[in-house]
Amino acid sequence: MEPKKDKWINDILNSIEGIKQAEPSPFLYAKIQHRLTATTTPVYVSARSIWLAIASFALLLLLNWRIINRQDASVKDNAADLSTVVSDMQLYPSTNQPYDLWSGQNY
Q: What are the residue ranges spanned by the domains of the chain?
A: 47-88
Higher-scoring residue by pLDDT: 13, 52: 52
> H or E stretch including 21?
none
Longest dimension (CA), the chain: 94
Give residues with Cβ within 8 angstroms of 82, minimum separation 6: 104
Higher-scoring residue by pLDDT: 94, 15: 15
The reported pLDDT for the residue numbered 74 is 62
The reported pLDDT for the residue numbered 40 is 76
Statement: residue 1 has pLDDT above 90: no
The runs of H, that is alpha helices, within 15-100 are 28-37, 47-89
The reported pLDDT for the residue numbered 92 is 65
Statement: residue 26 has pLDDT above 70: yes
pTM beyond 0.85 = no
Statement: residue 58 has pLDDT above 90: yes
- Mean pLDDT value across the chain: 81
> H or E stretch including 105?
none
Statement: residue 33 has pLDDT above 60: yes
65-76 as b/e, with b when 16 or more CB fall inside 10 Å?
Answer: eeeeeeeeeeee
What end-to-end distance do the CA atoms of the chain give, in Å? 90
